[in-house]
Structure 1
Amino acid sequence: MTTNRLCCIKLTPKRFLYDLEQIPQVGDRIFCFLFTTNFQENISMIDSKLNNLKITCEILSSYTSVKRIFGLILACGNYMNGGSRTRGQADGFDLEVLPKIKDVKGKDNRTSLLQYVVTSYVQRYDTDLMGTDRAKLPLPDPSDIQQAGLVNFEDIEKELKKIHADFDSAEMKANRIISRSRPETLEPFRRVMTSFFDKGKQDLTEQQTNLKEFSKLFDKTCTFFCVKPKGGDKKVTPEHFFSLWLSFCSDFKDIWKKEQQALVKLRLREAEERVRKIKESKAVLPQTKAKKVGGLKDRLSRHGKMS
């Protein structure tokens, strides 16, 4: 390799920086391109938070599986309180009860009320699906509950306002670059930025609308479950509401998975037993000899005198 070639390689980074400096308003252009990436990441994060909260609220308030689980809990509670005229005929219960269900033990002190509820649910409503790929947890996943509890509507509102202000500032900067650029340096900057800001306005509007709608949905969900604000709070917060569900859903999932694994083993044993019986039945079948070609039985059979 020649000395001139080595010099060219060493000068490449400097040449690159030199070429960048020849682009009009290069600093502002780089800022705009970096902003597009940051904007999309921030909007995507907010969208993920709000949609997870929305889906979790919908599952808790409208899914048949949740209603069935609550029905079992209520029935068990009324049965256990059967000697009380007031507590033994309840129409519902507070969500504060949920984390305590696992602590209610059976007579043997080995099983719990939660285990009984999970087993009863599986036997009544999920027998055909349990142990198969179609089996689905009847409650929201604990990780979704946990993420929903981290949502703070006020913080998201402030974040959207800041994103909106930064968006407007970046758009003004991009328009200024476009208006001052020569034709040979105009594209693809103008095309990329115009497309980005058009879509960005739609994304911002969508998340602002989602914030209002999902906040109302959350309030309706709290009202549906008769959850009241903690002392000092004006409204029920996601942190408080979902904390009532988290340990219950987590414990329920653990027991539900064990029930599913037990059913898989049971079905495997049943399948093995069927195979064993089939093999045994074949083993006791009488052995028949094949007819000898040209023998007496073969000749009689061909003349129709022997079946």
Structure 2
Amino acid sequence: MSLLDYIVSYYLRHLDKVKHEHVIIHITCNVLFCIVHICTLLNAGTEKSIFPLPEPQDVFLSSQVKFDDLSKDLKKMNRDLTVCEKDVLTVCTNSSHEHIHPFKEKMECFIANGDFASCLSFLSFSDLVEYFGLKPRSGEQEIVPGHVFTLWFEFCNDFKIRWKRENKVISKESMTTEKKIETRKAHANGLVRVCLHSC
């Protein structure tokens, strides 16, 4: 886990407390400032200086998804996939070898992709929760995806506000530096001209 990942993890774990305790608000704002400052310094003045997180509005819309319905749909898909697997096995055992090859290979690939996709959807969420060290809210046994997206929305929103401020500061600094360089060049050219005319 990189330093930046650790800082983001700390921020996400303590975000709930931020709303209630004034001291933690100050600490967490400083942590967020450090995260944004590190990200802007890494890519300041380059083409990579784009907002590195999802748009807060997209994350908010994701938090509005009914994950219980999505979970039911995934379970139904797994049941349908199991039925499909049994049907494929029946067809393969009752068919002759000359007609079985394209069908069997394509269906095995289809079933493997379905198993992988459903397994991946569950594992990726579990890995995300574990990676950031998120804990369930009091009174809940497990972390609800909607809660994670709400945390991410608040983080992305705060991050974007700070990101814009930091980029404005960097832009002003670079413009000031460019103006100083142009002024020096103009003065240098002016001195040369004065010297040439007086000689």
**How far apart are 1:277 and its partner, in Å?**
1.2
The match for 2:4 is 65
Q: Deviations over 1:109-140 (max 9, x none)?
A: xxxx84x6555555567435234323365766
1:141-174 CA distance string (max 9 Å, x none): 5435864784558436413324404634774797
Partner residue, 2:149 = 242
Of 123, 137, 162, which residue of structure 2 is paired with 1:213? 123
Alpha-carbon contact 1:164-1:204 (below 8 Å) kept? yes
Residue type at the aligned position of 2:84: F
1:132 aligns with 2:41: no
- The separation in 1 between residues aligned to 2:42 and 2:153, in whole angstroms, is 28
Backbone CA RMSD of aligned residues: 4.6
Q: Which amino acid aligns with 2:44?
A: M
Are 1:228 and 2:142 an aligned pair? no
Matches within 5 A, 1:19-168: 62-68=1-7, 94-98=14-18, 114=29, 118-123=32-37, 126-127=40-41, 129-135=43-49, 137=51, 142=56, 143=58, 147=62, 150=65, 151=67, 154-155=71-72, 157-165=74-82, 167-168=84-85
Aligned residue type for 1:127: L
Q: Whose RCO is larger (CA < 8 A, sep 6+)?
A: 2
Q: Distance in 1 between matches of 2:166 and 2:76?
A: 44
Judging changes above 3 Å, is the alpha-carbon distance between structure 1 residues 149 and 230 closer, same or farther for their aligned structure 2 residues?
farther
What TM-score results when the alignment is normalised by the length of structure 1? 0.45
Q: CA deviation at 1:197?
A: 0.9
Rounded Cα–Cα distance in structure 1 between residues aligned with 2:46 and 2:35 = 16
Contact 1:118–1:252, Cα closer than 8 Å, also in 2? yes
**Percent of residue pairs identical:** 14
Q: Secondary structure at the match of 2:47?
A: coil
Alpha-carbon distance change, 174 to 264 in structure 1, aligned in 2, over 3 angstroms: farther
- Aligned residue for 2:44, secondary structure, equals coil
Conserved 8 A contact 2:136-2:143: yes
Contact residue 51 and residue 160 of structure 2 kept, 8 A: yes
Q: CA deviation at 1:274?
A: 0.6
With the length of structure 2 as denominator, give the TM-score of the two structures: 0.63
**Equivalent residue for 1:276, pick from 168, 183, 197:** 183
Aligned equivalents of 2:46, 2:113: Cα separation in 1: 40
SS of 1:287 mapped into structure 2: helix
Change (3 A) 1:259 1:235: same
Cα distance between partner residues in 2 of 1:234 and 1:158: 20
Distance 1:271 1:99, change over 3 A: farther
Partner of 2:114: 204
Question: Greater Rg, structure 1 or structure 2?
Answer: 1
Q: CA deviation at 1:175?
A: 6.3
Is 2:169 the partner of 1:262? yes
Post-superposition shift, 1:200? 0.8
For residues 244 and 277 of structure 1, the distance between their equivalents in structure 2, rounded to whole angstroms, comes to: 49
Cα–Cα, structure 1 residues 207 and 124, in superposed 2: closer, same or farther, change >3 Å? closer
Contact in 2 for aligned 1:131/1:261 (Cα 8 Å):
no
Matched residue SS, 2:136: coil
